[in-house]
Chains A and B, each alone.
Chain A
């Protein structure tokens, strides 16, 4: 499937792209546009104003994806708190990882293309997933 989002990805778009590839569509193709009008007809737009898979009711796009695709894996909802805070910083959640992730993403985005950014950031989100999965399974932080 083709997916379209705004160019110059940061936290929410890279996290959504990871989520799409790992949980929704195993062979996605991403298109980056500057304006919502440029979204190709056969592509599903996300994380841009005025589309379904975007910010709604104070949620970031990652949270909207989880609701829309009924992904009820609790690990993903833990990650959603981090993405929400790194993206919006409205202190709805307590996610101390958010500040560090935001700085890493901003730094990575300074030198890379959007495609490169998706490749580089995927292991970061895999790592968040593995770590928080262990926390939930064991009921304590991995020692």
Chain B
């Protein structure tokens, strides 16, 4: 599924809002103003809302449903999307290590990294091995905090 769009450069607020939403959905940017997302009823609906937000802001947006003609290119695109979330998981694992080293406030930080893990998982369509590693890191942090309390 593709969203083709054009948004006025100014004002920048709707541009930023649209990009934040597209990033949360986990799109792959193919070109300037062209993003791709795996087809599914929820994704389609969410992309439609972004499209109407773009037209409300004075831009143009169309949604296309299509398939790459070449399997090799499709595979490349999947790897690209996978690499994006893998980097997010790795950043989260780094964050968990920082939290483990914190002298205090670790419980509150656990809530924060758990929420971040949920956000990344929601946009992870082609799970990389890092998904499991990030989950493990967060689980181990939770156990470490419990053990201090006991």
Contacts and interface: CB of A to CB of B under 8 A. Distances in A.
Interface of A: 6, 8, 10, 49-50, 54-58, 88-90, 99, 106
A82 B9 CA distance: 33
A49 B24 contact: no
A10 B40 CA distance: 13
Contact of B42 (A6, A10, A55): A10
Given A10-B45, A90-B21, A90-B24, A56 B51 contact: no
A interface secondary structure, majority: loop
B17 A49 contact: no
B52 A55 contact: yes
Given A57-B56, A88-B49, A89-B122, 11 more contacts: A10-B41, A10-B42, A49-B51, A55-B49, A55-B52, A55-B53, A56-B56, A58-B53, A90-B21, A90-B24, A99-B118
Interface size bucket, B side? 10 to 19
A22 B122 CA distance: 33
A52 B46 CA distance: 18
8 contacts: A8-B41, A10-B42, A55-B52, A55-B53, A58-B17, A58-B53, A89-B24, A106-B42
B interface secondary structure, majority: helix
B48 interface: yes
A106 B41 CA distance: 11
Interface in B24-64: 24, 41-42, 45-46, 48-49, 51-53, 56
Nearest to B122: A89
Given A58-B17, A90-B21, A49 B52 contact: yes
A66 B106 CA distance: 41
Contacts of A88: 46, 49
A53 to B, nearest CB: 13
Nearest to A54: B52
Contacts of B45: 6, 10
A50 B52 CA distance: 7
A89 B122 CA distance: 10
Interface in B106-126: 118, 122
Nearest to A48: B48
Given A8-B41, A10-B42, A56-B56, A49 B48 contact: yes
Contacts of A55: 49, 52-53
Contacts of A106: 42
Contacts of A10: 41-42, 45
Contacts of A8: 41
A8 B122 CA distance: 20
A126 B56 CA distance: 33
Contacts of B49: 49, 55, 88
